Amino acid sequence: MPMITTVQQHILQQQREQMKTTGREPTGTFSWLLSGITLAAKMVEAKIRSAGLSDIYGAFGAENVQGEQQQKLDVYANQALLHCLGLRDSVAALVSEEDEQPVTFNRDPETGKYIIIFDPLDGSSNIDVNVNVGTIFSVLRRLPLEQGTLEQSILQPGYEQVAAGYVVYGPSTVLVYTTGSGVHGFTLDHTIGAFVLSNERMRMPEQGSYYSVNEANADGWPAAYRSYIDMLRAGGLGKTYSSRYIGSLVADFHRTLLKGGVFLYPPTLQQPKGKLRLLYEANPLAFIAEQAGGVATYGAERVLDIRPEVIHQRTPFCIGSRREMEALVQAVKL
């Protein structure tokens, strides 16, 4: 019988490890919380697998707070996460890309200790063409009442995250997460309906051979980004690079985590503050990247140090291997 480790078991093992330093006995609250996310992910995955046979493709017929056409799967994924997580007593608030305001639960701060922030379905433009999409989540601890309101708890900087992760729905369905003790990957095993540990202590290569950016926006980037990409193309980092851009952030990041390289969404003419959202796209992936030995900036500065002002705020986003990111920070600083 092969030994398997599920996400819940892994979380509890990690907490027992951490107990040696924190002295805190794992209560199971956190693993119970994460089981809400894995349950919702399995519901989304089942919907995606049968998408061609049901009417889940296409637009839902409404716009979200971003002013973007919601896809039916955006709405389904959002409802699945709100339902599964709303049932967890330890949740104080849920913040979603698809909802203008947070969903809050009237629980006392002792019970409702966590805030979950998520992009329920990332890469919506790829759903109808059967290309990888994903789910991204970030977990913050609610501030004690005397230190801040629920809203201030939501707007904490990314370095305060207690966990972050994503699910990428591709040829296999993979969940990657960190609680600050390394990055760990799990693959959904359909025979038992559980995410099973498949890649422990993931490390991002020091340097890769891919750069990932939407080059259609190049004329609108600040000049430093254009010269940076030209430098990569010219072999300035001692390697030949290939371009890969899937248009689903989770898939482009997952490749960068495994193979190294760099992903960029610079400021553009249409979106001078960048397109990607800080709380549920940039922060969780930045936490994972740093835990795996990578780097994440919004130009020259660290993403995780940004003090959020509003929950849907956007940011330029650059993330990847140490070598490519050191060169990028230099290029942007010039």
> Which positions lie near ligand AHG, rule CB under 6 A?
97, 119, 122-124, 214, 247-249, 275
Radius of gyration (C-alpha) of the chain in whole angstroms:
19
Binder of residue 275, out of Mn ion, ligand AHG, none (CB less than 5 to 8 A by kind): ligand AHG
* Between 32 and 245, CB nearer to ligand AHG: 245
Q: Min. distance of Cβ 249 from ligand AHG in angstroms? A: 3
CA–CA dist 126, 133 (Å, integer): 7
- Count residues binding Mn ion (CB under 5 A): 4
287 exposed, middle or buried (CB, 10 Å; 0-12, 13-18, 19+)? Answer: buried
Interior angle at CA 44, CA 62 and CA 116, nearest 5: 80
122 binds Mn ion (CB under 5 A): yes
Residues 93 to 112 in contact with Mn ion, rule: CB under 5 A:
97
Residue indicated by tokens 């951490």: 18
252 contacts Mn ion (rule: CB under 5 A): no
How many angstroms separate the CA atoms of 186 and 173, rounded? 8
- Beta carbons within 10 angstroms of residue 331's beta carbon: 22
Question: Which span sits near Mn ion by CB under 5 A: 4-12, 100-108, 119-127, 176-184?
Answer: 119-127
Smallest distance from ligand AHG to CB 285, Å: 10
Maximum Cα interatomic distance, the chain, rounded to a whole number of Å: 58
In sequence order, which residues have a C-beta less than 8 Å from that of residue 249 and are 6 or more positions away? 122, 123, 134, 136, 263, 265, 276, 281, 285
* Closer Cβ to ligand AHG, 178 or 248, answer by number: 248
- Partner from ligand AHG, Mn ion, none contacting 247, C-beta within 5 to 8 A by type: ligand AHG
**Cα–Cα distance, 253 to 168 (Å, whole number):** 10
Find the shortest distance in angstroms from Cβ 251 to ligand AHG.
Answer: 8
Q: How many CA atoms lie within 13 A of 10 on its CB side?
A: 26
| 72 and 57 Cβ atoms separated by less than 8 Å | yes
State in angstroms the smallest separation of the CB of 22 from ligand AHG: 35
Q: Tell me whether residue 207 or residue 248 sits nearer to ligand AHG (CB atom).
A: 248
Q: Which does 35 bind (CB under 5 to 8 A by kind): ligand AHG, Mn ion, none?
A: none
> Quick one: 122 or 324, whose CB is closer to Mn ion?
122
Q: Least distance in Å: CB of 280 to ligand AHG?
A: 8
- 26 touches which of ligand AHG, Mn ion, none (CB within 5 to 8 A by kind)? none
Nearer to Mn ion, 119 or 324 (CB): 119
| Residue among 252 and 324 whose Cβ is closer to Mn ion | 252
Give the CB-nearest residue to Mn ion: 122
State the nearest-atom distance from the C-beta of 228 to Mn ion, in Å: 24
| Alpha-carbon gap, residue 262 to 237, rounded angstroms | 12
Binding site for Mn ion (CB under 5 A): 97, 119, 121-122
